[in-house]
Amino acid sequence: MTESAKKLATVDDLLALSAADRFEILAGEIIEKSAPSPEHGLAQRTLGRFIGGPFHDDHGRGGPGGWWILTEVQVELAPHEVVCPDLVGWRRERLPKPWGQRPVRVVPDWICEILSPSNERRDRGHKADVYAQSGVPHYWMIPPSERLVEAFALRDGEWVRSGAWGDDAKVRIPPFETIELDTARLFPPL
């Protein structure tokens, strides 16, 4: 007797869930995202404000503009890969109107994951691979417990580390290098 092949989940399976916004599909498996810690929430909200302010809010008034910077938006990268990054950004010329789409089916220009013990392995492993295979040009990872910002750029289908900065840096990190980011503000006071 042979065992039947396991059915790989798709976006239709995800959207059938009552709380679908707290789930992702990774390698065809529906995965529930854990609730964020206060440190995770602080890094996500603060980075969203510092990047989103000049690049998204008020259509770029007071900054370069030209981006949509959103949190916890489901993005379908492949039939069995629907991710929900902590922060995600698209250049507006590539995604003129994200509104009313669930999931968004345009590959992002930037993704940032805030790492926690429950998701770090997936974010550094499977999801990083999926982001590279899908052609996401910029990927940041922020482990609040390490008070670190890591940035990667896609080169020839592989992640190349642009740098890593502790909580004492004022840096300009692609694709948002036109502004200076004070990394200390992403983390709780010491």
Enclosing domain of residue 33: 11-186
- Number of domains the chain contains: 1
Which among 76, 115, 87, 44 is positioned nearest to 175, based on CA atoms?
Answer: 87
Identity at 84, one-letter amino acid code: C
pLDDT digits (tens, 9 = 90+) for 130-145: 999 999 999 999 999 9
What are the CA-CA distances from residue 184 to residues 44, 90, 128 (Å)?
A: 13, 25, 25
Tokens of 102: 């669930």
Is residue 155 domain-resident?
yes
The CATH number that applies at residue 116 is 3.90.1570.10
| Structural domain contains residue 2 | no
167 occurs within a structural domain: yes
What's the pLDDT tens digit per position in 76-118? 999 999 999 999 999 999 999 999 989 999 999 999 999 999 8
